[in-house]
A and B are shown apart, each in its own frame.
Chain A
Amino acid sequence: MLKCEQVTDMISAYIDKELTETERIDFEEHISGCESCKNELSILQSIVNSCSQIEELELPDNFNEELHKKLMQTKQDQKHNSPPWYLNWRMYSGIAAGLIVIVVLKTQVFDYMMKSEKAYVSDTQLNTAADMKPFNQENVQDQTKAEDTLGEKNVLNDSSNFSVMPRAEETENKIPTRKQTSENSKKQKTEEKIQYHPYSEAGADRDNEANTVIVEERNITEEMNSKELNNHLVMYSKEVESTESKSVDEPSEKRFMLKKSSDSLISGTEEYSGTQEESETDAAAPKAAISVARSLMSEERPELVHVSTIIISENDMEHLLNKLKESVPDYDKKAEDVNNQIQLKLDKEEYLKTMDMISALQLDMQIDADILDKGNEYDELTIRKNTIQEQIDILRQKEESLQNENEIQNIISEIEKLESELAAIDKKLSGLIEESKSNIIIIKKRTQLSQ
């Protein structure tokens, strides 16, 4: 004999004649002897009857007319631009990154150029410097080759190469002592953390490093007139140098304090702290822009999309899983259910194939899902990292102009805080890079219509 609780659960199916024969017999047997269940049945039955009497609304008069217009429009649009559907998930982040780069470079580099032109165009010394140090095409090519062979290692070294450009000044033999020490300590640190420094391994000299940035920048903004850019960048190096030379002669204890705090800094932004002119903030701007551009556009970046999270509506979960079971060989071995989310560990080829399939399903409206890849997270972190580095630069500059011991101490502790944040970001970034090698697809249920 069924319990009332069980019977209540069956009422709905009974009304729809969806019970099996034995279920129905048991159900009716219970109902005949149970008033409250009988009552329940009659209430639900009348509700269902009422529902079925609700008339469906007629289509509005202009519905077909409007739809026809829209269909014509859609067809026309499709003719004009039909992007291949697979661009959907792979390319959008790249396009977005590209836009950021262009905007940042356009505003910051050009802004900087305009300023530097105003400030230095009459400087005859500058012209001589530019002549003395023309853009060396051969060097560039060598460097490009060296970079190519280094391949993926650049991923990890990205953080250590941000400020390569200002090192150009060192070729002018005006290296302040502090700079050298901090440079060394920085290098040491970097080498401890990251065992293969591309430049130390390749033995490229610093002159080349300066050119590296130029090469990269040319890659990024192809539409830029490269000759013009080169000239500006030479000017830029010159500018840093000339402002630096003003402060070189004033050795100060403060700087050594600064050096201590900068030891934990992974990327060598401290070179800038030597300058005290307005030009320093200007100088930091293109540097940040370049580093953002480098990290967003660099060759290694696409690898990072190899961890994707599919957030899928509960209703479609089963459908997706069935599809995956069909298409992924040895699905059961590769899938793991962790905390209600499914982790699918694949090889690279399978990953790409599966992601293609999932985005096709999504486009086909067979599943209602959002596809997120780790690339976005990487870009966000990189941008955050660069912002912090800029903040540190500004604080360092401020610190040098201060006299009061307490104030200096405050700034140093602030810098230290930022630096530890920076280290945390670096850790996350290398974690992401590590993770990205694993070709993982994570499938999560979307919380139903969560507010």
Chain B
Amino acid sequence: MIDEKQLIRQCKNGDIQAFEKLIEGYQKKVYNIAYRMLGNSEDAFDVSQEVFIKVFKAIVNFKEESSFSTWIYRIAKNVCLDELRKKKKAQVVSIHSTIQADDSEFSIQLEDFQKGPEELLEIKELKNEVNKAINCLTDEHKLVIQLRDISGFSYEEIAEILQCSLGTVKSRISRARNSLKNILISKQEHFKSNGV
């Protein structure tokens, strides 16, 4: 395997082939982060392409102080949040779309959760419910759950990507998971009593 630093040096000279090789291992994760944040494959496609174009343009200024991987995910995070911000500005907030409650945001799709409690006993079903519930989280919590529990980044990596302290990461993950739990509970009253 060619050394990443070597590839980065080549990229700084505008070598597209080297760039494509360099990002190979990051594309899928970036696409998945974008998909999670934006909620549909079209936007995820566009945004993750934008991420790599930005990385390509900015790699000249990449100082190699942080690892390339966290830098690329940081850019992904920024582009996603930027896109969401743009979308939110353009969006007329509909009373049916979101309800703000404490620090969690519930999307109203109750029918998704009207299944019998016995189904929730099955891990497969629970996985689907959890997947849907993640999409009801705030953007910040969505991101942290995606990074930690789906993509499997370590706390240290997340701290670098989000550029915050380990303590912040710890408490944010904890809050995000609690919100997730609350969403699941609020949508399925019997969730708890069936002891998963």
- By a beta-carbon cutoff of 8 Å, the part of chain A in contact with chain B is 8-9, 11-13, 16, 18, 39, 42-44, 46-54, 56-60, 63-64, 66-68, 70-72, 74-75, 78, 85, 313-316, 318-319, 360, 363-368, 448-449, 451
Residue of A48, A59, A66, A366 with most partner-chain B CB within 10 A: A366
Closest 5 pairs (CB-CB, A-B): A51-B149, A12-B174, A50-B130, A319-B163, A50-B127
Distance in Å from the Cβ of A38 to the closest Cβ of chain B?
Answer: 11
Tell me if A71 and B165 are in contact (CB < 8 A).
no
Among the listed A16, A72, A364, which residue makes an inter-chain contact with B173, where contact means beta carbons less than 8 Å apart?
A16
Whether the Cβ atoms of B45 and A78 lie closer than 8 Å is no
A50 adjacent to B174 (CB under 8 Å): no
Establish whether residues B162 and A315, one from each chain, have CB atoms under 8 Å apart when the complex forms. Answer: yes
Cβ B16 vs Cβ A48 within 8 A: no
State whether the Cβ of B58 lies closer than 8 Å to any Cβ in chain A: yes
Chain B, residue nearest A369 (CB): B78
Knowing A60-B45, A448-B140 are in contact, say whether A364-B56 is a contact too (CB < 8 A).
no
**B110 interface residue per 8 A CB criterion:** no
Which residues of B lie under 8 Å from residue A318 when comparing CB positions?
163-165
Residue of B nearest to A85 (CB): B61
* Chain A CB within 10 A, most for which of B14, B27, B163: B163
Contacts of A48 in B (CB 8 A): 149, 177
**Cβ A12 vs Cβ B78 within 8 A:** no
Write the chain B residue with the least CB distance to A49.
Answer: B123
Would you give the shortest CB distance from A16 to chain B, in whole angstroms?
7
CA distance A39 to B28 in the complex (A): 35
Q: With an 8 A cutoff between CB atoms, is B47 at the interface?
A: no
Which of B61, B134, B139 contacts A449, CB < 8 Å? B139
CB contacts (< 8 Å) of B164 on chain A: these are 314-315, 318
CB distance from A80 to the nearest CB of B (A): 13
Q: What are 21 A-B interface contacts by the 8 Å CB criterion?
A: A12-B177, A42-B195, A44-B178, A46-B126, A47-B126, A49-B123, A50-B129, A51-B150, A54-B127, A57-B28, A57-B35, A63-B27, A63-B48, A67-B49, A67-B52, A78-B57, A318-B164, A319-B163, A365-B54, A366-B71, A449-B85
Task: Give the complex CA separation of A9 and B172 in angstroms.
Answer: 11
Q: With A51-B149, A63-B31, A449-B140 known to touch, is A360 a contact of B177 (CB < 8 Å)? A: no
- Tell me the minimal C-beta distance from A316 to chain B in angstroms: 5
CB distance from B106 to the nearest CB of A (A): 16
Q: Which residues of B contact A314 (CB under 8 A)?
A: 164
Q: Are B20 and A68 in contact (CB under 8 A)?
A: yes
What is the interface size of chain B, counting residues whose CB is below 8 A from a CB of the partner? 67
CB of B39 to closest CB in A, whole Å: 12
A44 to B191, CA, bound (A): 12
B38 touches A (CB below 8 Å): no
B49 and A56 contacting across the interface, CB-CB below 8 Å: no
In whole angstroms, how far apart are the Cα atoms of A54 and B130 in the complex?
A: 9
Q: A319-B163, A363-B58 are in contact. Are A57 and B53 (CB under 8 A)?
A: no
Residue of B nearest to A322 (CB): B163
Q: Is the CB of B53 within 8 A of A47?
A: no
Which of A39, A60, A71, A85 counts the most chain B CB atoms within 10 A? A71
Complex: A50 Cα to B149 Cα, angstroms: 9
